Amino acid sequence: MADLIRSAALSGYADILRAAGHDPVRAVRAAGLPVACLTDPELKIASATLRRLLEETARKGIDDLGLRLAAERSLSNLGPIGLIAREQPTVRRALEAMGHYMRLHNESLSLRMIDSGGEVIVGVDLRVGPSMQYRQSAELAIGVLYRVLKLFLGASWKPELVVFMHGTPRSTEPHRKFFRTRVAFSGDFMGVVCALRDLDSPISSADPVM
């Protein structure tokens, strides 16, 4: 059975395509997706089909599509998972809650945390088919994780390192501008490396009664 994802993952897609001179309706129809996925965030679509759509769109001259989509993301894009994460007492607990319920948003994605000395690797695993290209989905996933961490830790926060498993793109300038830290490619994992103290930080908005 195919993994599904909420079409909230396409939030902002239509605006990006129109700004680049392309028709988003034609793009999703060509991919075999319902046009409603552009307006209904709760519609479930096949994760593999979404990945192919993003890769095909990137080849139209929007090479940093995943990062562009991630740039405007907030907790609300995750639906109820965002609400659950926001009410946790610490950033670590928020990430644990997101990992536990992530299947409700994206059945093909999972989160894991690995403590290593004074650092923590927040890893993202994507379940993809053999030989399937997934760079845009990977950059979208890591970009959203980064955005969520910044929402919890403040605008001035930045990670120690961001790692991708895919090869180095033709230009890495969009990555440097987006993450404002070191970015590595062709790694043996995909994720964000944080200081241990970052994950132990309290979330000021948390309401234990909620």
Q: What is the pTM of this model?
A: 0.96
The torsion defined by the Cα of 126, 129, 132 and 136, in degrees rounded to 10, comes to -20
Orientation of helix 135-153 relative to helix 91-101, angle to 10° = 140
pLDDT tens-digit profile, the chain (210 residues): 689 999 999 999 999 999 999 999 999 999 999 999 999 999 999 999 999 999 999 999 999 999 999 998 999 999 999 999 999 999 999 999 999 999 999 999 999 999 988 999 999 999 998 888 999 999 999 999 999 999 999 999 999 999 999 999 999 999 999 999 999 999 999 999 999 999 999 998 888 777
Contact 163, 193 (CB under 8 A): yes
Contact 88, 75 (CB under 8 A): no
Query: Tokens standing for 119?
Result: 């650092």
Q: What is the pLDDT of residue 197?
A: 95
Q: What pLDDT digit, counting tens, does each position of 154-185 carry?
A: 999 999 999 999 999 999 999 999 999 999 99
CA distance 70 to 80: 18
What is the enclosing helix (H) or strand (E) of 4? strand 4-6
Beta carbons within 8 Å of 205's beta carbon, 6+ residues apart: 86, 87
